[in-house]
Amino acid sequence: MEKSANYRLKRTIIFLLTLAGVGVWLIVNPASYESAPAAETPAAETPASASGESQSTVASENSALTILAKLEIKGRAPKTGYKRTEFYDGWPNINGCSLRQIIIKREAGDSAELSGCDVIKGKFTEPYTGKIFEAFAKSDFSKHIQIDHVVALSDAWQKGAQYKTKEERFQLATDPLNLLAVDSSANQQKSDGDAATWLPPNKSFRCQYVARQTSVKYKYGLWVTQAEHDAIAKVLETCPSEPAVGI
């Protein structure tokens, strides 16, 4: 009986020592006991309208949405006194080359073939229509391509530019940020409209277009009307991370 009792006592002591050892090991290595996390199931995307959260909350510091929120909203000033010459007299020369040709060369990129400063051949995707434009002579550019002020000068005049200095207006009119080589017909349709009255037919370019307009207005301290603000915001809600340009 005594041997049997001693044997049971030894087994109990060994069990308790083993259990204590396991406890110490788990304290030192807690991760070893945790079950592997289950693969995360992607959360279903919730439309902003359903969640009550504006998509602008995901906008970064340099997004067009963030910049749009910084623009003053007010009505148009009178167009009285507006003339194109209040901004500039024709395209200036930069390093001996016309700014018009410089912008066309920018758009045509590596496809541009030059004769001096003039682009005589080139190919690029015209942004307002989304169509491929190809020129085989300088006259093709003259017939079909215009240099558009993304923020039209008349629109700029009515939204703060008339209160700027002549030098500031010149910078606005000749800033490459505010210039695009575009289809002549599309540009004529736009006229001096803002985003509330005209957007490019090429829907895939609209985010870039309104982001550029917003950037120009911010850079030069211009304001937007409520209708214009809302139109820009509606476009940018589809692309909240669209960056501002050149600022």
**pLDDT of amino acid 59:** 66
In a domain, 181, yes or no: yes
Distances (CA, A) of 110 to 52, 105, 119, 126, 165: 47, 8, 11, 15, 37
In a domain, 43, yes or no: no
Q: Which domain holds residue 219?
A: 58-236
Mean pLDDT by 10 residues, the chain (247 residues): 45 40 35 30 33 47 97 97 97 96 98 98 98 98 98 98 98 98 98 98 98 98 98 98 95
Q: What whole-number distance in Å separates Cα of residue 148 and Cα of residue 155?
A: 13
Contact in structure between 219 and 177 (CB atoms under 8 Å): yes
In a domain, 214, yes or no: yes
In a domain, 28, yes or no: no
Q: How many domains does the chain contain in total?
A: 1
What pTM, to 2 d.p., does this model score?
A: 0.76
Q: What is the token pair recorded at 8?
A: 């049971």
Please give, one letter per residue, the 3-state secondary structure of 26-81: HHHCHHHHCCCCCCCCCCCCCCHHHHCCCHHHHCCCCEHHHHHCCCCECCCCCCCC
**pLDDT of amino acid 247:** 84
In a domain, 110, yes or no: yes
